[in-house]
Structure 1
C-alpha cells in the first residue's frame, strides 16, 4: 500500500517518507524534507508504476553512463568520423564535466536551464549550447528506448520554450553578419579575383560563384559538373579527415547554375587537372582529397594579401610596425559573399533572387536558416521614393 508518513531520524531531523511498491512489487521508499515534495513524487511514481515505466533511484543510470551507450550506438551506426568526433566532444567537454554524475531521474527542466546558463557563462556561444542541447536530447531519447529513462526533459523544455524567442536571443548574442567585416565587399571580391593565379584560381573562383562549402568543394567531382549546361551538382563532400561521404542533409543535395566565365575557367582547368581514382575537380597533385589547411594557407590567404585586402595584425616587424594579414582568413567568407550576391539588387550588381531560391542555392535545411543568417541583407521595397511612387499610383 502506497502511503506518506512522517519520520524522525536518529539525528533528530524530521522527514516525510513516501512508501510504495515498484512495477515488480518490491517495496521502495524515498524521503523528503517537505510534504508537498513527497506528495508530488508519489503522484509521479504511481503513474510511472502503472505505466510500467518507473525506475527507482537506486537503479537509475547517470548521464555519463547513458551517454556512453549513446556514443557506442553512434559508432555502430557508421556515422562520419567528424560527426562521431563532434558528438564525443559534446559529451566529454560540455555534458560530463557538469551534469555527468547526475542520475537520469534527477534531471529536470530547471536543471537543464541551469546547465545551459553555466555553459554560456563559461564562454560557450549560443550556437554551441544549442548543438550540445540537441545531443543531450538524443542521449535521453536513446535511454528511453533502452528503458533507462522515463522522460526526455529536452523535449519537455522545447514545448515550454518559444523557439522564435530562442532564435532572437541567439541572433542578439552572435550579431548580424556585416558587409566589409564578415562578408567581403564587391570591390574586395573584384581585387581578390584579379589576384587569383595558378591551381588555386579555379577552386577559389568556384567558391565565389557557387557558394559551396569547403567540404563540398573538396569533394566535387568532374562527373558532377555539366560544362555544356553550366551547372554543378553537390552530391558528396569531404570531411575533416579527407574521407568522402554524402551531404550531411537532404537539402545539401542541390544543383547550382554557374556563370559562363567560370565555365571557361573550369574547361581550361580540366585539361591540366591532376588525375586520380576519385575523379575530383580540385585534388592534390596525386589526385587525392586536398586538405582545407592547404587551401587556406597556400591559396586563400595569399590571394587576399596579394589583392591588398589586409588588416594590421598583432605581430610586429623589427621596426615595431604591425604586420598586415589577410582580412578574411576563412573559406566561409566567400560563401557569405555568394549569398549576398544572390540577394543584392540588380542595380547594385546582385541577382535579386527570392529567399526560397537563395535557400536552395545555399543548401540550407530551412528557409529560417537563410532568413536568420542573411535576412537583413534582403533589399527593402519601402524606401521613401518607392513609397511615394506606389502611393501616387493608387491616388491617381
Structure 2
C-alpha cells in the first residue's frame, strides 16, 4: 500500500533536516521510493502516479522524451538529493560524468558540463544514445551502446559503471511514469575477452620501504605529517581531511574515523558503516601528532588536524598537483642523483603500504578488515589476498564459506 512518511536526520555538522518519502509499488510491481522536501510535493506526486498506475497509462511526455531528457532530469533530481544530504557531491559528479560524457555527449547539458572541465579531462566519445526517443531505447540499443563503448577502448570496469548510471536513470524514468516497460539497461553485462580476464582486477601497487622512506624524508610541513599518518593508519584521503583533534585519543593511542570530506569540502559519514572504526597508533606517531598540534594552524572548519591555508578542508586534487606530484619528482631526481631505485607512486598507494605492513606484522585478516574499514572480509581478501601467507588465505576462505553455508 502506498504511503507518505516523514524522515528526519541530523547531518555531520549537527544540523536538523527533514523530508517526505512516498513509498509505493509501480505499474510493473516493483517497490519504489521518492523523496521530497515538502509534504505538499509528495502528496501531489502520489495523486499523479497513483492515477497513472490505476489507468495503466504511459505518460504522453514519455513518448516524446529522449534519453538525454531523462539524463538531464535525473541529474537535477540527484542535485536535489545532494542538497538534502542524501548522496555525496562526489557521487553526483561521477554520475554526471557517465551520463554527459558517454550516454548523451551531444546534449546541451553535456556541452555545459564539458565547458567546466579541464581540457585534459574532456572525453571525445561520440557514440552516445542521448538522441533516442524513449520507446526506441530498447535492450538491443543499450547492448549496441555497450559495444560502441568497448570499441572506443573504454575499459570493462568503466563500461560497467557507465551502464550502471544509465540503468539508474532509466529506473528514474520508470518512477516518473515516462516508461512502463522493463528497464532496457538492467542486466546488460560486460564481459572481458578471455585474454583480458583477470586484468581488470585491481592490482595492489605500493612503494617499497626504501621508496617510501625517501619520499617521506623529503616531504615537509603538513604534507610530511599526512604522509606519515596515511602510511601508518591506512586512512583514505577523504577520511584524513575530515579528521579533527577530538578524534585523537592521546591517552589510549587511538584514532577514531567517523566522517569524510569530499572534493568540495562537504563533510559526510564514512564510505560505509564499516568505515567507522578505531585505528591504533604507535608511540612515535602519537609523539609526532602532539608536536604537530602544538604548532598547528587554527582551523575554521571544525578544529581540523589538516586544514588548508584558509583553515578549511584540503582539496585533494589541488594537494596532489601542488604538493604530492612535485614531491614525487623531487624524490625521483634525488634517487637518480644517488643512484638508487625509485618509482613514483600514487597517494592511495600509501593506504596499500600501511595494510601490507599490518599483514607483514602478522595481524589476523579479520583484524585488518576492521582496521582498513572494509565492509566484509571478502573485500579485504579480494584486494590483498595475494599478500597474505597461504595458510591465512586457506583459513579465511574456510571462514567465508562457513558464513555463507
Could you tell me the TM-score, scaled by structure 2's length? Answer: 0.66
Change in 2 beyond 3 A, CA 1:259/1:56: same
Is the counterpart of residue 250 in structure 1 residue 273 in structure 2? yes
**Residues 177 and 183 of structure 1 are in contact (CA less than 8 Å); yes or no, is this contact kept in structure 2?**
no
Q: Give the count of matched residue pairs.
A: 313
For residue 176 of structure 1, report the CA deviation from its aligned partner.
Answer: 5.1
After superposition, give the CA deviation of every residue in 1:208-256 in whole Å (9 maximum; x if it has no partner): 0111121221111111111211221222222222333333433332222
The match for 1:125 is: 155
Is the counterpart of residue 209 in structure 1 residue 232 in structure 2? yes
Is the counterpart of residue 341 in structure 1 residue 365 in structure 2? no
Give, in whole Å, the separation in 1 of the partners of 2:94 and 2:341.
30
The match for 1:14 is: none
Change in 2 beyond 3 A, CA 1:83/1:166: same
Change in 2 beyond 3 A, CA 1:95/1:352: same
Change in 2 beyond 3 A, CA 1:284/1:128: same
The match for 1:141 is: 171
Aligned pair partner of 2:68 in 64, 67, 71:
64
How do residues 230-241 of structure 1 correspond to structure 2 at under 5 angstroms?
A: 230-241=253-264
How do residues 58-97 of structure 1 correspond to structure 2 at under 5 angstroms?
A: 59=63, 61-77=65-81, 78=83, 79-97=87-105
Give, in whole Å, the separation in 2 of the partners of 1:264 and 1:286.
26
**Residues 238 and 262 of structure 2 are in contact (CA less than 8 Å); yes or no, is this contact kept in structure 1?**
yes
How do residues 73-222 of structure 1 correspond to structure 2 at under 5 angstroms?
A: 73-77=77-81, 78=83, 79-97=87-105, 98-150=128-180, 151-157=182-188, 172-174=198-200, 177=203, 182-222=205-245
Give, in whole Å, the separation in 2 of the partners of 1:382 and 1:242.
40
Is the counterpart of residue 290 in structure 1 residue 314 in structure 2? yes
Could you tell me the TM-score, scaled by structure 1's length? Answer: 0.68
**Residues 104 and 149 of structure 1 are in contact (CA less than 8 Å); yes or no, is this contact kept in structure 2?**
yes
The match for 1:353 is: 364
The match for 2:389 is: 379
Task: Tell me which moved more, 182-191 or 257-266.
Answer: 182-191
For residue 206 of structure 1, report the CA deviation from its aligned partner.
Answer: 0.5
Q: Report the RMSD for the aligned CA atoms in angstroms.
A: 3.7
Is the counterpart of residue 272 in structure 1 residue 282 in structure 2? no
The match for 1:37 is: none
After superposition, give the CA deviation of every residue in 1:7-34 in whole Å (9 maximum; x if it has no partner): xxxxxxxxxxxxxxxx9xxxxxxxxxxx
For residue 367 of structure 1, report the CA deviation from its aligned partner.
Answer: 4.0
Flag structure 1 segments of 5+ consecutive residues without an equivalent: 1-22, 24-48, 313-320, 345-349, 384-396
Flag structure 2 segments of 5+ consecutive residues without an equivalent: 1-26, 28-52, 106-127, 394-405
Give, in whole Å, the separation in 1 of the partners of 2:283 and 2:195.
42
**Residues 304 and 310 of structure 1 are in contact (CA less than 8 Å); yes or no, is this contact kept in structure 2?**
no
How do residues 323-338 of structure 1 correspond to structure 2 at under 5 angstroms?
A: 327-338=343-354
For residue 368 of structure 1, report the CA deviation from its aligned partner.
Answer: 4.2
* 2:256 match: secondary structure: strand
Give, in whole Å, the separation in 2 of the partners of 1:154 and 1:365.
27
**Structure (1 or 2) with the larger CA radius of gyration:** 1
* 1:74 match: secondary structure: helix
